[in-house]
Chain A
Amino acid sequence: MQPLKIIIQGDFWDCQIYRGRLYLWYTDGSVGVYNWDSLVKETFKNKVDQLVLQCAFIEGDLLYKEGIALIFKDLEIKNVLLEKFKKTFEKELLIDLEQLKNFEYSKQDNPVAELPTDTCIYNNTLFTITDLGIYSSSIHSRKTKYGISTRANRLWDCPLISVKAAHNSLALAGGDQGVFELHLDDYNDFPNLKKIDKKIYQVSEAHSSLVNWSFASLYSSSYIETSFLAAFGWEQEQKTERKEHKRRFKKIIPDSKILKNSDFSWGSQEKIYLANSNTINVFKYVQSNVNLKDENQTFQFLETIPLTESKGEIISGGIAYFGVIIEFNDALSVLSSNGDSLFTFPEAVARWRIYPRSKRYENHLHVIYEDRLVIYSFNHDYFIKQESKTRGIKYSQSSSQLFPKTN
Protein backbone atom coordinates (compact mmCIF):
# COMPACT_ATOMS: atom_id res chain seq x y z
CA MET A 1 0.00 0.00 0.00
CA GLN A 2 1.61 3.21 -1.19
CA PRO A 3 1.73 6.25 1.10
CA LEU A 4 -0.46 9.21 0.16
CA LYS A 5 1.12 12.64 -0.04
CA ILE A 6 0.30 16.33 0.03
CA ILE A 7 2.92 18.67 -1.41
CA ILE A 8 3.15 22.24 -0.09
CA GLN A 9 5.34 24.41 -2.28
CA GLY A 10 7.61 26.90 -0.51
CA ASP A 11 10.99 27.54 1.07
CA PHE A 12 10.53 25.98 4.50
CA TRP A 13 13.02 25.39 7.29
CA ASP A 14 11.05 23.40 9.87
CA CYS A 15 7.53 22.16 10.54
CA GLN A 16 5.35 20.90 13.36
CA ILE A 17 1.75 19.77 13.54
CA TYR A 18 -0.25 19.98 16.75
CA ARG A 19 -3.91 20.08 17.67
CA GLY A 20 -5.22 20.91 14.21
CA ARG A 21 -2.58 23.49 13.39
CA LEU A 22 0.36 23.26 11.03
CA TYR A 23 3.40 25.33 12.04
CA LEU A 24 5.77 26.27 9.23
CA TRP A 25 9.13 27.99 9.71
CA TYR A 26 10.26 29.79 6.54
CA THR A 27 13.94 30.28 5.72
CA ASP A 28 13.34 34.06 5.71
CA GLY A 29 12.89 33.90 9.50
CA SER A 30 9.09 34.04 9.68
CA VAL A 31 6.71 31.43 11.10
CA GLY A 32 3.23 30.72 9.78
CA VAL A 33 0.49 28.93 11.67
CA TYR A 34 -2.25 27.32 9.56
CA ASN A 35 -5.59 25.71 10.21
CA TRP A 36 -4.65 22.24 9.00
CA ASP A 37 -8.06 20.54 9.17
CA SER A 38 -9.77 23.24 7.07
CA LEU A 39 -6.80 23.52 4.70
CA VAL A 40 -7.04 19.83 3.82
CA LYS A 41 -10.83 19.56 3.78
CA GLU A 42 -11.46 22.69 1.73
CA THR A 43 -8.58 22.41 -0.72
CA PHE A 44 -9.37 18.86 -1.78
CA LYS A 45 -13.12 18.64 -1.08
CA ASN A 46 -14.10 17.94 -4.69
CA LYS A 47 -10.99 15.95 -5.52
CA VAL A 48 -10.58 13.31 -2.82
CA ASP A 49 -12.90 11.07 -0.85
CA GLN A 50 -13.61 12.82 2.47
CA LEU A 51 -13.24 9.63 4.54
CA VAL A 52 -9.76 9.05 3.11
CA LEU A 53 -8.75 12.65 3.80
CA GLN A 54 -10.02 12.38 7.35
CA CYS A 55 -8.22 9.08 8.07
CA ALA A 56 -5.00 9.83 6.21
CA PHE A 57 -4.32 13.44 7.07
CA ILE A 58 -6.61 14.73 9.84
CA GLU A 59 -7.37 11.92 12.27
CA GLY A 60 -4.64 9.30 11.97
CA ASP A 61 -5.82 7.31 14.98
CA LEU A 62 -9.35 6.83 13.61
CA LEU A 63 -8.67 3.40 12.10
CA TYR A 64 -6.76 2.20 15.17
CA LYS A 65 -9.80 2.71 17.38
CA GLU A 66 -11.41 -0.18 19.21
CA GLY A 67 -14.23 -1.64 17.18
CA ILE A 68 -12.75 -0.72 13.83
CA ALA A 69 -10.73 -3.96 13.74
CA LEU A 70 -14.02 -5.83 14.00
CA ILE A 71 -15.38 -3.97 10.99
CA PHE A 72 -12.23 -4.80 9.00
CA LYS A 73 -12.90 -8.49 9.54
CA ASP A 74 -15.56 -7.96 6.88
CA LEU A 75 -13.31 -8.16 3.80
CA GLU A 76 -15.87 -6.45 1.62
CA ILE A 77 -15.74 -3.31 3.79
CA LYS A 78 -11.98 -3.48 4.09
CA ASN A 79 -11.51 -3.77 0.34
CA VAL A 80 -13.80 -0.80 -0.32
CA LEU A 81 -11.65 1.33 1.97
CA LEU A 82 -8.39 0.06 0.46
CA GLU A 83 -9.69 0.87 -3.01
CA LYS A 84 -10.48 4.42 -1.87
CA PHE A 85 -6.88 4.81 -0.61
CA LYS A 86 -5.56 3.44 -3.89
CA LYS A 87 -7.60 5.93 -5.93
CA THR A 88 -6.30 8.81 -3.79
CA PHE A 89 -2.69 7.69 -4.34
CA GLU A 90 -3.14 8.27 -8.05
CA LYS A 91 -4.08 11.94 -7.52
CA GLU A 92 -1.65 14.82 -7.15
CA LEU A 93 -2.47 16.79 -4.00
CA LEU A 94 -0.71 20.12 -4.31
CA ILE A 95 -0.96 23.29 -2.21
CA ASP A 96 0.71 26.54 -3.26
CA LEU A 97 1.51 29.52 -1.04
CA GLU A 98 -1.61 31.40 -2.14
CA GLN A 99 -3.89 28.52 -1.14
CA LEU A 100 -1.96 28.15 2.11
CA LYS A 101 -2.50 31.83 2.95
CA ASN A 102 -6.28 31.35 2.86
CA PHE A 103 -5.97 29.14 5.93
CA GLU A 104 -3.41 31.23 7.80
CA TYR A 105 -4.10 31.66 11.49
CA SER A 106 -1.11 33.99 11.92
CA LYS A 107 2.26 34.86 10.44
CA GLN A 108 4.95 36.38 12.60
CA ASP A 109 8.69 36.75 13.09
CA ASN A 110 10.35 33.73 14.60
CA PRO A 111 10.22 34.45 18.38
CA VAL A 112 13.87 33.38 18.75
CA ALA A 113 16.70 35.16 16.95
CA GLU A 114 17.91 32.33 14.72
CA LEU A 115 16.54 29.57 12.53
CA PRO A 116 15.94 26.66 14.88
CA THR A 117 18.28 23.70 15.11
CA ASP A 118 15.35 21.64 16.43
CA THR A 119 11.82 22.18 17.70
CA CYS A 120 9.35 20.17 19.75
CA ILE A 121 5.78 20.82 20.90
CA TYR A 122 4.58 19.44 24.22
CA ASN A 123 1.70 20.44 26.44
CA ASN A 124 0.80 23.61 24.48
CA THR A 125 4.41 24.79 24.59
CA LEU A 126 6.86 25.12 21.72
CA PHE A 127 10.47 24.33 22.62
CA THR A 128 13.09 25.73 20.26
CA ILE A 129 16.81 25.00 20.16
CA THR A 130 19.28 27.48 18.65
CA ASP A 131 23.02 28.09 19.11
CA LEU A 132 22.08 30.34 22.04
CA GLY A 133 20.21 27.67 24.00
CA ILE A 134 16.73 26.26 24.46
CA TYR A 135 13.62 28.44 24.60
CA SER A 136 9.96 27.89 25.43
CA SER A 137 7.01 29.78 23.95
CA SER A 138 3.36 29.14 24.67
CA ILE A 139 1.10 28.19 21.76
CA HIS A 140 -2.65 27.77 21.38
CA SER A 141 -3.22 30.60 23.84
CA ARG A 142 -6.44 32.61 23.55
CA LYS A 143 -4.68 35.72 24.85
CA THR A 144 -2.49 36.37 21.82
CA LYS A 145 -3.34 37.10 18.20
CA TYR A 146 -0.32 35.06 17.11
CA GLY A 147 -0.16 31.29 17.01
CA ILE A 148 3.11 31.38 18.94
CA SER A 149 3.71 33.72 21.86
CA THR A 150 6.10 36.47 20.78
CA ARG A 151 7.87 36.24 24.14
CA ALA A 152 10.29 33.31 24.18
CA ASN A 153 11.65 32.30 27.56
CA ARG A 154 15.24 31.01 27.57
CA LEU A 155 15.39 27.89 29.74
CA TRP A 156 19.11 27.15 29.35
CA ASP A 157 22.03 28.63 27.41
CA CYS A 158 23.70 25.36 26.37
CA PRO A 159 24.04 24.87 22.58
CA LEU A 160 22.10 21.66 21.94
CA ILE A 161 21.18 19.53 18.92
CA SER A 162 17.90 17.76 19.53
CA VAL A 163 14.97 17.75 21.94
CA LYS A 164 12.25 15.18 22.66
CA ALA A 165 9.58 15.58 25.34
CA ALA A 166 7.82 13.01 27.56
CA HIS A 167 7.13 12.44 31.28
CA ASN A 168 6.99 16.22 31.81
CA SER A 169 10.68 16.37 30.88
CA LEU A 170 12.81 17.25 27.90
CA ALA A 171 15.48 14.80 26.75
CA LEU A 172 18.29 16.82 25.22
CA ALA A 173 21.17 15.75 22.96
CA GLY A 174 24.07 18.14 23.33
CA GLY A 175 26.74 16.75 20.98
CA ASP A 176 30.08 16.67 22.79
CA GLN A 177 28.42 18.15 25.88
CA GLY A 178 26.49 14.91 26.46
CA VAL A 179 22.86 13.99 27.22
CA PHE A 180 20.68 16.02 29.57
CA GLU A 181 17.20 16.09 31.01
CA LEU A 182 15.41 19.35 31.64
CA HIS A 183 12.42 18.90 33.95
CA LEU A 184 9.35 21.02 33.43
CA ASP A 185 8.02 20.64 36.96
CA ASP A 186 9.58 20.97 40.39
CA TYR A 187 9.03 17.36 41.40
CA ASN A 188 12.31 15.90 40.26
CA ASP A 189 15.14 14.40 42.18
CA PHE A 190 17.89 12.23 40.74
CA PRO A 191 20.46 11.55 43.46
CA ASN A 192 22.76 9.61 41.12
CA LEU A 193 22.83 12.16 38.27
CA LYS A 194 24.93 15.32 38.09
CA LYS A 195 22.75 18.36 38.74
CA ILE A 196 23.58 21.19 36.33
CA ASP A 197 20.89 23.62 37.41
CA LYS A 198 17.69 23.59 39.44
CA LYS A 199 15.81 21.48 36.88
CA ILE A 200 18.63 20.20 34.66
CA TYR A 201 20.52 16.92 35.07
CA GLN A 202 23.38 15.46 33.06
CA VAL A 203 22.57 11.86 32.12
CA SER A 204 25.85 11.16 30.32
CA GLU A 205 28.97 13.01 29.20
CA ALA A 206 29.25 10.86 26.05
CA HIS A 207 28.66 12.39 22.61
CA SER A 208 25.00 12.50 21.58
CA SER A 209 23.58 13.55 18.22
CA LEU A 210 19.94 12.67 18.86
CA VAL A 211 17.95 11.28 21.73
CA ASN A 212 14.62 9.45 21.96
CA TRP A 213 12.46 8.14 24.77
CA SER A 214 12.30 4.36 25.28
CA PHE A 215 9.54 4.22 27.92
CA ALA A 216 11.23 5.54 31.09
CA SER A 217 14.69 5.29 29.49
CA LEU A 218 16.53 7.34 26.87
CA TYR A 219 18.22 6.08 23.72
CA SER A 220 21.08 8.32 22.61
CA SER A 221 22.42 8.00 19.06
CA SER A 222 25.73 9.44 17.94
CA TYR A 223 27.21 9.98 14.47
CA ILE A 224 30.64 10.10 16.10
CA GLU A 225 30.88 7.70 19.00
CA THR A 226 29.03 4.75 20.53
CA SER A 227 25.28 5.10 20.86
CA PHE A 228 23.78 3.93 24.15
CA LEU A 229 20.72 3.34 26.26
CA ALA A 230 20.51 5.43 29.42
CA ALA A 231 18.42 2.99 31.45
CA PHE A 232 15.91 4.40 33.91
CA GLY A 233 13.42 2.40 35.92
CA TRP A 234 10.50 2.97 38.23
CA GLU A 235 11.05 2.52 41.97
CA GLN A 236 8.40 2.42 44.63
CA GLU A 237 9.09 4.74 47.53
CA GLN A 238 7.15 5.05 50.78
CA LYS A 239 6.16 8.68 51.33
CA THR A 240 4.54 9.04 54.74
CA GLU A 241 1.25 7.16 54.25
CA ARG A 242 1.22 6.55 50.49
CA LYS A 243 3.58 4.86 48.05
CA GLU A 244 5.00 6.80 45.12
CA HIS A 245 6.62 5.59 41.91
CA LYS A 246 9.80 7.50 41.19
CA ARG A 247 11.73 7.39 37.94
CA ARG A 248 15.34 6.53 38.76
CA PHE A 249 18.53 6.36 36.70
CA LYS A 250 20.01 2.83 36.59
CA LYS A 251 22.95 2.60 34.19
CA ILE A 252 24.40 3.36 30.77
CA ILE A 253 24.34 0.42 28.34
CA PRO A 254 26.45 1.00 25.18
CA ASP A 255 25.06 -0.43 21.93
CA SER A 256 28.10 -2.73 21.70
CA LYS A 257 26.57 -4.70 24.61
CA ILE A 258 23.46 -5.29 22.51
CA LEU A 259 25.33 -6.11 19.30
CA LYS A 260 29.05 -6.02 18.63
CA ASN A 261 30.10 -3.82 15.72
CA SER A 262 27.33 -1.57 14.51
CA ASP A 263 27.94 1.66 12.63
CA PHE A 264 24.88 3.54 13.85
CA SER A 265 21.96 2.65 16.08
CA TRP A 266 18.74 4.25 17.18
CA GLY A 267 15.90 3.32 19.48
CA SER A 268 12.46 4.39 20.63
CA GLN A 269 10.00 2.68 22.91
CA GLU A 270 10.40 -1.12 22.63
CA LYS A 271 12.52 -1.20 19.45
CA ILE A 272 16.25 -0.74 18.84
CA TYR A 273 17.77 -0.80 15.34
CA LEU A 274 21.50 -1.37 14.87
CA ALA A 275 22.80 -0.79 11.36
CA ASN A 276 25.89 -1.96 9.53
CA SER A 277 26.77 -1.26 5.92
CA ASN A 278 24.30 -3.83 4.53
CA THR A 279 22.10 -5.05 7.37
CA ILE A 280 19.91 -3.73 10.16
CA ASN A 281 19.51 -5.86 13.28
CA VAL A 282 16.32 -5.41 15.26
CA PHE A 283 16.11 -5.87 19.03
CA LYS A 284 13.21 -5.59 21.44
CA TYR A 285 13.92 -3.57 24.56
CA VAL A 286 12.14 -4.84 27.65
CA GLN A 287 11.88 -1.94 30.07
CA SER A 288 10.61 -4.13 32.90
CA ASN A 289 13.82 -6.23 32.76
CA VAL A 290 16.12 -3.24 33.11
CA ASN A 291 16.93 -4.14 36.72
CA LEU A 292 18.09 -7.65 35.80
CA LYS A 293 21.83 -8.27 35.62
CA ASP A 294 21.46 -10.51 32.55
CA GLU A 295 21.23 -8.03 29.67
CA ASN A 296 20.10 -10.80 27.30
CA GLN A 297 16.72 -10.50 28.97
CA THR A 298 16.63 -6.75 28.51
CA PHE A 299 17.41 -6.91 24.77
CA GLN A 300 15.79 -9.66 22.72
CA PHE A 301 16.91 -10.24 19.14
CA LEU A 302 14.02 -10.11 16.65
CA GLU A 303 15.42 -10.20 13.11
CA THR A 304 18.15 -9.14 10.65
CA ILE A 305 16.93 -7.00 7.77
CA PRO A 306 19.19 -7.01 4.70
CA LEU A 307 19.72 -3.68 2.97
CA THR A 308 19.90 -4.86 -0.61
CA GLU A 309 20.42 -1.51 -2.32
CA SER A 310 23.36 0.44 -1.02
CA LYS A 311 22.48 4.07 -0.55
CA GLY A 312 25.62 4.99 1.35
CA GLU A 313 26.16 5.90 4.97
CA ILE A 314 23.16 6.00 7.31
CA ILE A 315 23.13 9.44 8.88
CA SER A 316 19.98 9.29 11.01
CA GLY A 317 17.00 7.14 11.89
CA GLY A 318 13.58 7.19 13.44
CA ILE A 319 10.82 4.81 14.48
CA ALA A 320 7.10 5.32 13.96
CA TYR A 321 4.10 2.99 14.18
CA PHE A 322 4.06 2.71 10.38
CA GLY A 323 7.72 1.70 10.11
CA VAL A 324 11.39 2.55 10.42
CA ILE A 325 12.80 5.71 8.90
CA ILE A 326 16.38 5.60 7.61
CA GLU A 327 18.12 8.76 6.44
CA PHE A 328 21.01 8.51 4.01
CA ASN A 329 23.05 11.41 2.67
CA ASP A 330 20.99 11.66 -0.50
CA ALA A 331 17.82 9.71 0.25
CA LEU A 332 15.22 8.85 2.84
CA SER A 333 13.84 5.32 3.18
CA VAL A 334 10.95 3.82 5.12
CA LEU A 335 10.87 0.13 6.00
CA SER A 336 7.14 -0.33 6.29
CA SER A 337 5.70 -2.10 9.31
CA ASN A 338 3.89 -4.70 7.18
CA GLY A 339 7.31 -6.11 6.33
CA ASP A 340 6.98 -6.22 2.58
CA SER A 341 7.89 -2.73 1.40
CA LEU A 342 10.84 -0.41 1.38
CA PHE A 343 9.84 3.05 0.24
CA THR A 344 12.77 5.17 -0.89
CA PHE A 345 12.54 8.86 -1.66
CA PRO A 346 15.76 9.45 -3.64
CA GLU A 347 16.52 13.09 -2.82
CA ALA A 348 18.56 14.69 -0.05
CA VAL A 349 16.31 16.09 2.66
CA ALA A 350 16.77 19.25 4.69
CA ARG A 351 14.72 17.87 7.58
CA TRP A 352 12.14 15.19 8.31
CA ARG A 353 9.75 14.71 11.18
CA ILE A 354 7.48 12.00 12.56
CA TYR A 355 4.90 12.39 15.34
CA PRO A 356 4.60 9.05 17.18
CA ARG A 357 3.50 10.79 20.37
CA SER A 358 0.61 12.60 18.78
CA LYS A 359 -2.98 11.33 18.83
CA ARG A 360 -3.93 12.35 15.34
CA TYR A 361 -0.75 12.52 13.24
CA GLU A 362 1.12 9.33 14.13
CA ASN A 363 0.78 8.17 10.51
CA HIS A 364 2.50 11.33 9.11
CA LEU A 365 6.02 11.72 7.80
CA HIS A 366 6.91 15.33 7.00
CA VAL A 367 9.87 15.88 4.70
CA ILE A 368 11.35 19.30 3.89
CA TYR A 369 13.22 19.61 0.60
CA GLU A 370 14.85 22.64 -1.03
CA ASP A 371 11.58 23.97 -2.49
CA ARG A 372 8.71 22.15 -0.78
CA LEU A 373 7.29 20.27 2.18
CA VAL A 374 5.89 16.82 1.47
CA ILE A 375 3.41 15.39 3.97
CA TYR A 376 3.31 11.62 3.55
CA SER A 377 0.53 9.59 5.12
CA PHE A 378 1.11 5.86 5.72
CA ASN A 379 -2.04 3.80 6.12
CA HIS A 380 -1.05 0.14 6.17
CA ASP A 381 -0.37 -0.26 9.90
CA TYR A 382 -4.08 -0.43 10.84
CA PHE A 383 -4.40 -3.78 9.06
CA ILE A 384 -1.50 -5.74 10.58
CA LYS A 385 -0.97 -7.72 13.77
CA GLN A 386 0.76 -5.38 16.19
CA GLU A 387 2.04 -8.18 18.45
CA SER A 388 4.34 -9.72 15.86
CA LYS A 389 5.61 -6.66 14.03
CA THR A 390 9.34 -6.00 14.04
CA ARG A 391 9.49 -2.84 11.92
CA GLY A 392 8.07 0.06 13.85
CA ILE A 393 6.65 0.68 17.30
CA LYS A 394 3.84 -1.60 18.46
CA TYR A 395 0.50 0.19 18.69
CA SER A 396 -1.67 -0.73 21.64
CA GLN A 397 -4.74 0.93 23.08
CA SER A 398 -3.05 1.08 26.46
CA SER A 399 0.17 2.53 25.06
CA SER A 400 -0.91 5.99 26.14
CA GLN A 401 0.05 5.09 29.71
CA LEU A 402 3.59 4.16 28.76
CA PHE A 403 3.94 6.55 25.86
CA PRO A 404 2.03 9.69 26.83
CA LYS A 405 0.22 11.21 23.88
CA THR A 406 0.71 14.91 23.27
CA ASN A 407 -1.87 16.06 20.75
Chain B
Amino acid sequence: MCIPEDTPIPIQLTNKTIHYKIVTVHRRAGNQNKCIWTITPKEEVDCFQFSASNDWLDEKQGWGLKSNKNGSLDQIGLSTQKKPLKIAKFVDTNLTCEWHGYPADYCKNSQDVPSCKVLEKWKKNNLISKTNFSKIRQRKPCNL
Protein backbone atom coordinates (compact mmCIF):
# COMPACT_ATOMS: atom_id res chain seq x y z
CA MET B 1 0.00 0.00 0.00
CA CYS B 2 1.40 3.42 -0.95
CA ILE B 3 0.66 6.08 1.67
CA PRO B 4 0.77 9.64 0.30
CA GLU B 5 2.96 12.16 2.15
CA ASP B 6 1.62 15.46 3.55
CA THR B 7 -1.96 14.23 3.14
CA PRO B 8 -4.28 13.56 6.13
CA ILE B 9 -5.21 9.88 6.44
CA PRO B 10 -8.35 9.01 8.44
CA ILE B 11 -7.73 6.78 11.47
CA GLN B 12 -10.81 5.10 12.89
CA LEU B 13 -10.82 4.79 16.67
CA THR B 14 -13.62 3.19 18.68
CA ASN B 15 -15.44 6.44 19.37
CA LYS B 16 -14.13 8.91 16.79
CA THR B 17 -12.16 9.46 13.63
CA ILE B 18 -8.89 11.39 13.71
CA HIS B 19 -6.37 12.09 10.96
CA TYR B 20 -2.66 11.41 10.61
CA LYS B 21 -0.26 12.97 8.15
CA ILE B 22 3.11 11.60 7.01
CA VAL B 23 5.34 14.68 7.00
CA THR B 24 7.92 14.86 4.22
CA VAL B 25 10.47 16.79 6.27
CA HIS B 26 10.93 13.82 8.65
CA ARG B 27 11.38 11.39 5.74
CA ARG B 28 14.26 13.08 3.91
CA ALA B 29 17.83 13.01 5.23
CA GLY B 30 18.64 16.44 3.79
CA ASN B 31 17.52 18.56 6.75
CA GLN B 32 20.21 18.33 9.43
CA ASN B 33 17.93 19.75 12.13
CA LYS B 34 15.26 17.05 11.84
CA CYS B 35 15.14 13.51 13.15
CA ILE B 36 14.07 11.12 10.41
CA TRP B 37 11.98 7.96 10.35
CA THR B 38 13.68 4.72 9.34
CA ILE B 39 10.46 2.68 9.35
CA THR B 40 8.10 2.65 6.36
CA PRO B 41 5.20 5.15 6.11
CA LYS B 42 2.77 2.30 6.81
CA GLU B 43 4.70 1.35 9.96
CA GLU B 44 4.64 5.01 11.01
CA VAL B 45 0.85 5.10 10.67
CA ASP B 46 0.57 1.78 12.54
CA CYS B 47 2.77 3.18 15.30
CA PHE B 48 0.44 6.20 15.62
CA GLN B 49 -2.68 4.02 15.56
CA PHE B 50 -1.18 1.76 18.27
CA SER B 51 -0.44 4.84 20.36
CA ALA B 52 -3.97 6.26 19.89
CA SER B 53 -5.67 2.96 20.69
CA ASN B 54 -3.59 2.53 23.87
CA ASP B 55 -4.46 6.02 25.10
CA TRP B 56 -0.92 7.33 24.90
CA LEU B 57 -2.11 10.59 23.36
CA ASP B 58 -2.89 13.65 25.45
CA GLU B 59 -4.85 16.58 24.11
CA LYS B 60 -2.06 18.00 21.95
CA GLN B 61 0.77 15.48 22.10
CA GLY B 62 1.49 11.81 22.48
CA TRP B 63 4.21 9.22 22.29
CA GLY B 64 4.58 5.87 20.60
CA LEU B 65 6.70 2.73 20.48
CA LYS B 66 7.09 -0.12 18.02
CA SER B 67 7.32 -3.43 19.82
CA ASN B 68 8.22 -6.63 17.99
CA LYS B 69 7.30 -10.30 18.41
CA ASN B 70 10.15 -10.87 20.89
CA GLY B 71 8.69 -8.22 23.19
CA SER B 72 11.58 -5.82 22.62
CA LEU B 73 11.40 -2.41 20.92
CA ASP B 74 12.39 -1.71 17.33
CA GLN B 75 14.33 1.29 16.12
CA ILE B 76 11.99 3.76 14.42
CA GLY B 77 14.32 6.58 13.42
CA LEU B 78 17.62 8.42 13.57
CA SER B 79 18.60 11.52 15.53
CA THR B 80 20.29 14.52 13.94
CA GLN B 81 23.52 12.96 15.25
CA LYS B 82 22.62 9.69 13.49
CA LYS B 83 21.94 7.83 16.73
CA PRO B 84 19.13 5.22 16.72
CA LEU B 85 15.81 6.35 18.20
CA LYS B 86 13.04 4.12 19.54
CA ILE B 87 10.40 6.58 20.79
CA ALA B 88 7.98 8.46 18.52
CA LYS B 89 6.42 11.81 19.32
CA PHE B 90 3.03 12.78 17.89
CA VAL B 91 1.57 16.28 17.90
CA ASP B 92 -1.73 17.99 17.15
CA THR B 93 -0.59 21.52 17.94
CA ASN B 94 -3.69 23.28 16.59
CA LEU B 95 -6.17 20.83 18.16
CA THR B 96 -7.65 20.03 14.75
CA CYS B 97 -7.49 16.23 15.21
CA GLU B 98 -4.89 16.23 12.45
CA TRP B 99 -1.78 14.63 13.90
CA HIS B 100 1.74 14.19 12.63
CA GLY B 101 4.83 12.70 14.21
CA TYR B 102 8.57 12.30 14.28
CA PRO B 103 11.20 10.18 16.06
CA ALA B 104 11.78 11.75 19.47
CA ASP B 105 15.29 12.57 20.70
CA TYR B 106 14.50 12.81 24.42
CA CYS B 107 18.19 13.18 25.40
CA LYS B 108 18.49 16.35 23.37
CA ASN B 109 15.11 18.06 23.33
CA SER B 110 13.01 18.87 26.41
CA GLN B 111 9.77 18.67 24.42
CA ASP B 112 10.60 15.14 23.27
CA VAL B 113 10.61 13.59 26.76
CA PRO B 114 7.50 11.41 27.14
CA SER B 115 5.15 12.51 29.91
CA CYS B 116 5.39 10.73 33.25
CA LYS B 117 1.84 9.44 32.71
CA VAL B 118 2.73 7.72 29.43
CA LEU B 119 6.01 6.32 30.82
CA GLU B 120 4.09 4.85 33.76
CA LYS B 121 1.71 3.12 31.31
CA TRP B 122 4.64 1.72 29.34
CA LYS B 123 6.22 0.37 32.51
CA LYS B 124 2.91 -1.11 33.69
CA ASN B 125 2.59 -2.91 30.35
CA ASN B 126 6.19 -4.17 30.59
CA LEU B 127 7.21 -2.23 27.49
CA ILE B 128 10.01 -0.54 29.44
CA SER B 129 11.77 -1.39 32.70
CA LYS B 130 11.87 0.87 35.75
CA THR B 131 15.56 1.40 35.00
CA ASN B 132 14.81 2.77 31.54
CA PHE B 133 11.83 4.77 32.85
CA SER B 134 14.19 6.48 35.27
CA LYS B 135 16.90 7.02 32.68
CA ILE B 136 14.43 8.58 30.23
CA ARG B 137 13.24 10.97 32.95
CA GLN B 138 16.87 11.90 33.64
CA ARG B 139 17.35 12.19 29.84
CA LYS B 140 20.21 9.71 29.91
CA PRO B 141 20.84 7.42 26.96
CA CYS B 142 19.50 3.90 27.60
CA ASN B 143 19.16 0.50 25.93
CA LEU B 144 15.45 0.40 25.20
Q: Is the CB of B116 within 8 A of A115?
A: yes
**B85-124, CB < 8 A from A:** 107-110, 113, 115-116, 120
Q: Does A35 contact B (CB under 8 A)?
A: no
Q: For the complex, give the distance between the alpha carbons of A116 and B81 in Å.
A: 28
Q: Is the CB of B116 within 8 A of A130?
A: yes
Distance in angstroms from A152 CB to nearest chain B CB is 16
Distance in angstroms from B108 CB to nearest chain A CB is 5
**A204-258, CB < 8 A from B:** 207, 209, 223-224
Q: For the complex, give the distance between the alpha carbons of A279 and B133 in Å.
A: 29
Q: Does A61 contact B (CB under 8 A)?
A: no
Q: Does B131 contact A (CB under 8 A)?
A: yes
Residue from A177, A224, A329 in contact with B107 in the complex, judged by beta carbons closer than 8 Å: A224
Q: For the complex, give the distance between the alpha carbons of A370 and B134 in Å.
A: 10
**A148-173, CB < 8 A from B:** 159, 161-162
The interface stretch among B22-30, B42-50, B135-143 is: B135-143
Q: Is the CB of B109 within 8 A of A351?
A: no
Q: Is the CB of B139 within 8 A of A223?
A: yes
Q: For the complex, give the distance between the alpha carbons of A327 and B142 in Å.
A: 11
* In the complex, chain A residues whose CB is within 8 Å of the CB of B141: 223, 313, 315, 329
A130, A161, A224, A351, most chain B CB atoms within 10 A: A224
Q: For the complex, give the distance between the alpha carbons of A27 and B81 in Å.
A: 33
Can you name the residue of chain B whose Cβ is closest to the Cβ of A316?
B140
Residue from B110, B134, B142, B143 in contact with A159 in the complex, judged by beta carbons closer than 8 Å: B110
Q: Is the CB of B137 within 8 A of A115?
A: yes
Q: For the complex, give the distance between the alpha carbons of A11 and B138 in Å.
A: 18
How many A-B residue pairs lie within 8 Å, measured between CB atoms? 68
* In the complex, chain B residues whose CB is within 8 Å of the CB of A189: none
Chain A 360-381: CB-based contact to B (< 8 A → 1; otherwise 0)? 0000000011100000000000
* In the complex, chain B residues whose CB is within 8 Å of the CB of A329: 141-143
Q: For the complex, give the distance between the alpha carbons of A348 and B115 in Å.
A: 22
Residue from B107, B109, B116, B131 in contact with A348 in the complex, judged by beta carbons closer than 8 Å: B131
B81, B109, B135, most chain A CB atoms within 10 A: B135
Given contacts A130-B116, A369-B131, contact A348 B143 (CB under 8 A): yes
Can you name the residue of chain A whose Cβ is closest to the Cβ of B107?
A223
Can you name the residue of chain B whose Cβ is closest to the Cβ of A348?
B131
Q: Is the CB of B130 within 8 A of A11?
A: yes
* In the complex, chain A residues whose CB is within 8 Å of the CB of B120: 115
A13, A315, A350, most chain B CB atoms within 10 A: A350
Q: Does B75 contact A (CB under 8 A)?
A: no
Given contacts A176-B110, A207-B108, contact A370 B140 (CB under 8 A): no
* In the complex, chain A residues whose CB is within 8 Å of the CB of B143: 329-330, 348
* In the complex, chain B residues whose CB is within 8 Å of the CB of A118: 138
Distance in angstroms from B94 CB to nearest chain A CB is 22
**A13-49, CB < 8 A from B:** 13, 27
Given contacts A117-B138, A350-B135, contact A131 B107 (CB under 8 A): no
* In the complex, chain A residues whose CB is within 8 Å of the CB of B131: 348-350, 369-370
Can you name the residue of chain B whose Cβ is closest to the Cβ of A116?
B137
Q: Does A174 contact B (CB under 8 A)?
A: yes
Residue from A131, A313, A330, A351 in contact with B134 in the complex, judged by beta carbons closer than 8 Å: A351
* In the complex, chain B residues whose CB is within 8 Å of the CB of A161: 138-139
Q: For the complex, give the distance between the alpha carbons of A320 and B137 in Å.
A: 24
Distance in angstroms from A348 CB to nearest chain B CB is 5
Q: Is the CB of A176 within 8 A of B134?
A: no
- 11 A-B pairs whose Cβ atoms sit less than 8 Å apart in the complex: A11-B130, A115-B137, A118-B138, A176-B109, A177-B110, A224-B107, A224-B108, A348-B142, A348-B143, A350-B130, A370-B130
Interface residues of B (CB under 8 A from A): 81, 107-110, 113, 115-116, 120, 129-131, 133-135, 137-143
Interface residues of A (CB under 8 A from B): 11, 13, 27, 114-115, 117-118, 130-131, 159, 161-162, 174-177, 207, 209, 223-224, 313, 315-316, 327, 329-330, 348-351, 368-370
- In the A-B complex, the 10 residue pairs with the smallest Cβ-Cβ separation, listed nearest first, are A350-B134, A114-B116, A350-B131, A224-B108, A348-B131, A175-B110, A117-B137, A315-B140, A315-B141, A329-B143
Q: With A131-B116, A175-B109, A350-B135 given, can you name 19 additional A-B contacts, CB distance below 8 Å?
A: A114-B116, A117-B137, A117-B138, A130-B116, A131-B115, A159-B110, A174-B110, A175-B110, A176-B109, A223-B141, A224-B81, A224-B108, A315-B135, A327-B140, A350-B130, A351-B134, A351-B138, A368-B134, A370-B131
